[in-house]
Structure 1
């Protein structure tokens, strides 16, 4: 990184311990998570009739619950795994590479968690029950909030995998940012 890029990087985050990639990822994930309640609201007008939300098909609700448990297990056991960082490199390069890998992992976990909601949509249309969509939306939002949101919990979990060889990832921040 040349002097100009370094100065732009440092000026772009004046009193912040978060790199620009962290703010961008948070904004992107927030917009993507917002799609679940928006789609649920839209499907309300498609599936709700004069009779109400329709019957509650418990079998299909249990299928959505099982899918959510599978998505949770995948995210917990596979979603935060990555190859450890190699020794060497400038701190800003290591931090950029860490954020790139964390972002990739976040999008994979997002796809898995959102699948719970997306599968509930056609099931709700087939069963003509808005309840299935509500169950899928509730479980999907819970998973997205817990497993995908790029907060400190998920950053620390991913940083632990990156730092398995003792190389600092700077994902939760650089030491000088916490002084």
Structure 2
């Protein structure tokens, strides 16, 4: 006898929780930007040169490049193992989606954390964080939001052995 599936265990609920996780990370990054002027000591210089501000703003692009190199990897589903129902396949696909998803979010957040730490040592106070916060949040949404592009890239990895992952359907991208 099979046990009934609880709503929290459904692939749709898991997909919703992944979206909430991305929003939580984005909110945390925004809070860091808001409290940086209070948290960081005022800089000796009033404002860094414009070229340096542009450099701070470009730091999140490094994480974007790293994610495109390593962030979409997922172990393919075994073609012979996928004889279960669609919900079980979706659950297995989501379990393989999650480690890469966490890596993408961590890589998106890392530049802001690094610049926060640098804010204590550089003579510019909160400017590194303020310059990079917007681009870092944009990079987070671009690489971690489970939209069609991101889900399809991971699904292609999961389906490399010919098994159908049903991952896009779990996120409502049928």
TM over 0.5: yes
Maintained 8 Å contact 1:47/1:128: no
The answer to whether structure 1 residue 105 and structure 2 residue 104 are counterparts is: no
* Equivalent of 1:30 in 23, 32, 36: 23
Residue 62 of structure 1: CA displacement? 2.1
Q: Residues 12, 95 of structure 1: CA spacing in aligned structure 2 closer, same or farther, 3 A cutoff?
A: closer
Deviations 1:130-151 (A, max 9, x none): 2211122122111101001122
Deviations 1:108-164 (A, max 9, x none): 111111011111112222223322111221221111010011222211111111111
Aligned twin of 1:4: 3
The answer to whether structure 1 residue 172 and structure 2 residue 168 are counterparts is: yes
Maintained 8 Å contact 2:40/2:120: yes
- Structure 2 unpaired stretches of 5+: none
Query: Secondary structure of the residue that 1:70 maps to in structure 2?
Result: helix
1:16-165 to 2 correspondence within 5 Å?
Answer: 19-47=12-40, 54-57=46-49, 58-59=51-52, 62=55, 65=58, 67-87=59-79, 88-89=81-82, 90=84, 91-126=86-121, 127-165=123-161
Residue 31 of structure 1: CA displacement? 1.0
- Structure 1 unpaired stretches of 5+: none
Q: Residues 118, 61 of structure 1: CA spacing in aligned structure 2 closer, same or farther, 3 A cutoff?
A: farther
Maintained 8 Å contact 1:116/1:140: yes
Maintained 8 Å contact 2:33/2:130: yes
* Matched positions, count: 167
Maintained 8 Å contact 1:29/1:149: yes
Residue 61 of structure 1: CA displacement? 5.1
Residue 39 of structure 1: CA displacement? 1.3
